[in-house]
Amino acid sequence: MTVCRRLLPLVPFQGRLKFKQYIANKRHKFGIKLFKLCLEGGYTYDFNVYCGKEHAEGSSVPTNVVMKLMDGLLDKGRTLAIDNYYTSVTLAHALLHRKTHMIGTLRANRKYNPKNDISKKFKVGEHVAEQSNSGIVVQKWRDKRDVLMITTKFDDEMVTIQKARGDVVKPNNVIEYNKYKSFIEISDQMKNYNSPLRKGIKWYRKLSMELLTGTALINAHVAYQSIANESMTITKLSDVGRASRRRCTACYAKIAEEEGRQVK
C-alpha cells in the first residue's frame, strides 16, 4: 500500500479558493491537494481532500493523515510505503503499535532522527544504518545525492543490481520502496490518459470530475482486469456491455402514435 501527498494528485485550479495549494516544481502549480492511499495495481482505497491546516492533538498533521487513511487496514501486518512528507520516527512507532510496517524516504531534519552517523558526509556508494530497540531502521546511502530511508520491515542489506553499464550496489530498502511507490504512480498515470478537466470549470466540479474519472473509473478498470483476466485500455472500459441503439422508422411511428405525437 502507498500513501502519497501527490500534490499529488493536484487537481488543477487557478481560481479563488481558500485552500488552494501552490507547488513550484509541478506542471500545474496551483490546485486542490488530495491525500491518497493506493493498493497494488493503482486501486485507490481511500482519499482525503486538504481543506486547510488542521489542529492535531498529540501528534503531527501528517501522522494524523496517515492514521486516518489507514483506518480499517491496521492491526493486520500490512506494509505501507510513504514519502518524506509523512515519515518520522513517531509515525513508525505509531504504526508498529498497530501491527503495521512502514518504509519510506525520510527528511534529515525530522524530530528524533539519529544524529551520530546520519549527519556525516559520505562518498558515493557508502552507507550507514542505525536500528532502535523497537526495530526501526534508519539508513543513509550516498548515490548522486544523500538518500535517507526509514523502515520497520527490512534491515540495511545491500543488493547488487545488474544494469547495462555494469553492476550497481544499492540498499534493499530503496528497491522495495520504489516497488511500492509505483502503485500510486500507476494511478496518476492512468487518469491522465482521459482527463475531463477543462479551463473555467468551478472548483467543486473539477474536484467531482477528478474523483469520478481519476478515482472511481480507475478503480473500476483495475477491478475489471483482475476479475475478467483480460487486458483492456481504460478508454474502452466505458464501452463494456454497451449495446448499439437502433430504431426503425416503423417503430418510431408506432411510439409517436401511442404518445400522441405527429410524425414529421
Distance CA 140, CA 118 (A): 6
CB–CB of 142/123 below 8 Å?
yes
More confident residue, 30 or 108: 108
Q: What is the pTM of this model?
A: 0.77
Note the pLDDT of residue 218: 86
Q: For the chain, what percent of residues have pLDDT higher than 90?
A: 28
Query: Any residues with CB less than 8 A from the CB of 167 and at least 6 apart, and which?
Result: 160, 161
Has residue 149 got a pLDDT over 90? Answer: yes
Over residues 153-158, the mean pLDDT reads 92
Q: Are 156 and 139 in contact (CB under 8 A)?
A: yes
Which pLDDT value is given to residue 56?
Answer: 62
Q: How far apart are CA 141 and CA 255, in angstroms?
A: 75
Mean pLDDT of 118-137: 89
pLDDT at 264: 57
pLDDT of the residue at 8: 43
What pLDDT, on a 0 to 100 scale, did the predictor assign at position 236? Answer: 72
Q: Are 36 and 119 in contact (CB under 8 A)?
A: no
The Cα 187–Cα 132 span in angstroms is 34
pLDDT digit string, tens, across residues 216-261: 888 888 888 888 877 777 767 666 555 555 557 777 778 777 777 6
**pLDDT above 70 (res 178):** yes
The tens digit of pLDDT for each residue in 183-195 reads: 777 777 776 666 6
pLDDT at 167: 85
Decide which of 188 and 129 is more confident. Answer: 129
